[in-house]
Amino acid sequence: MKPNRTTLAAAALAALAALATTAPARADVPSAQALLQAGARQGVADGYPAVVGLVRSGDAVQYVAAGVKDRATRTPADPKAQYRIGSSTKAFTSTVLLQLEAEGRLSIDDTVAKWLPGAVSANGYDGSKITIRQLLNHTSGLPDYAADAAFAFNYGADLQPDQAFAPQALVNLALRQHAPASAPGQTWGYANTNYVLAGMVITAVTGNSPAAEIQQRIITPLGLTDTTFPTSDPSLHGNYLHGYEYPLGSSLVILDVTVSNVQTFGAAGAMVSTLDDMAAFSRALVTGKLLPPAQQTELTTTVPSSLGGYGLGVIHKQLPCGQWAWSHGGDVLGYDSDWLSSEDGTRQVLRANTEYHLVGGPTRGQQDTGRATSAAFCAL
């Protein structure tokens, strides 16, 4: 039987990945680009409308792209286009809180109740026993409001992209789910609730929204001209990748969910950016350009988690080749992305896919593009 394009792409990706895993680390951008490009093609073969990526070694930057940025117009995918970064927003939020600590305006060991009296006080949860640090490293013990079945259905179906969600309403949705399973600080458990509360602390301390503080403290100083923090507008504007979902994971129907509710995640996952801007931000973050040494140490102090060592909005993980990288993924309706950076910021790989349907996973596309992202980093 004649092999199809999917089989050939998978074979090429496997061969390149094996080479990257066994070969010594070296600054080899072309090989890393080839690995990421093979992964992008495989991701499209797996069902992604588009996959884009960036590989950087020193000052050398190369891009990859496969598929289309808009299935209606069939316009080729553009690695310079915007996409929703989802939970990579968390690194921006934690950075602002650490900057506020450096200015003496708070301590990340302050309790939540100190800044948000009564915000966490239901069903056995007590904000006077939870610290800001525990919010940022996900050891608060709080449930994730996004796990609520009705909430997930409405968001996943993209039924009300303009619906208003006050941050406290999201917190309340989490608190009513179940009583605490462990005391604060005892166990790690990923919950968007933590970062919604973190955003609320930013507002309590500064009087400004997390979006305004992130704009003033990070986006503008770093010149991230294609990065935004939408607070109400559910649409994307300018040059952007359309986001899609296979409802309930079915491959028979695909929906355009580019226009989606940004208030559902706020400081936990509402931001929009590009590969170039995310490379600039993550490089500045891991190299200490955004934080003084004491806060940089706090940022990178990790606790064990299922994702790797989890710091304050960043992840330290060991790749299959044995190398270590700082990272954080972002999954939000229609978009799945990831970034990897060496500690000195000289080696980076970023990737974004334009389909995410919330339920199930990891999908074959996530697995294939994830392996390609790691393999590309290992080839640098």
Q: Which residues are catalytic?
A: 87
User: How many alpha carbons fall within 13 Å on the CB side of residue 287?
Assistant: 14
Q: Judge contact between 90 and 331, C-beta under 8 A.
A: no
Residue with tokens 């970064």: 85
User: Can you tell me the distance from the alpha carbon of 138 to that of 306, in angstroms, rounded to the nearest whole number?
Assistant: 12
For the purposes of burial, counting CB atoms within 10 Å of the CB of 144, is it exposed (0-12), middle (13-18) or buried (19 or more)?
Answer: buried
User: Can you tell me the distance from the alpha carbon of 22 to that of 35, in angstroms, rounded to the nearest whole number?
Assistant: 14
The partner residues of 34 in beta bridges, in order of sequence, read none
Secondary structure (3-state) at 339: strand
Secondary structure (3-state) at 64: strand
Q: Kindly give the residue spans of alpha helices, DSSP state H, lying in the chain.
A: 5-22, 29-45, 89-102, 112-115, 132-136, 149-156, 167-175, 192-206, 210-214, 220-222, 275-286, 293-299, 364-378
Residue with tokens 């190369």: 62
Q: Judge contact between 92 and 117, C-beta under 8 A.
A: no
User: Can you tell me the distance from the alpha carbon of 307 to that of 329, in angstroms, rounded to the nearest whole number?
Assistant: 10
In the chain, the amino acid numbered 378 is C
Q: Which residues contact 188 (CB under 8 A, 6 or more apart)?
A: 137, 138, 139, 303, 304, 305, 306, 310
Long-range contacts, 75-80 (Cβ 8 Å, 24+): 77/50, 77/51, 77/52, 77/241, 77/354, 78/52, 78/239, 78/241, 79/52, 79/53, 79/54, 79/275, 80/239, 80/274, 80/275, 80/276
User: Can you tell me the distance from the alpha carbon of 251 to that of 111, in angstroms, rounded to the nearest whole number?
Assistant: 46
116 DSSP assignment: S
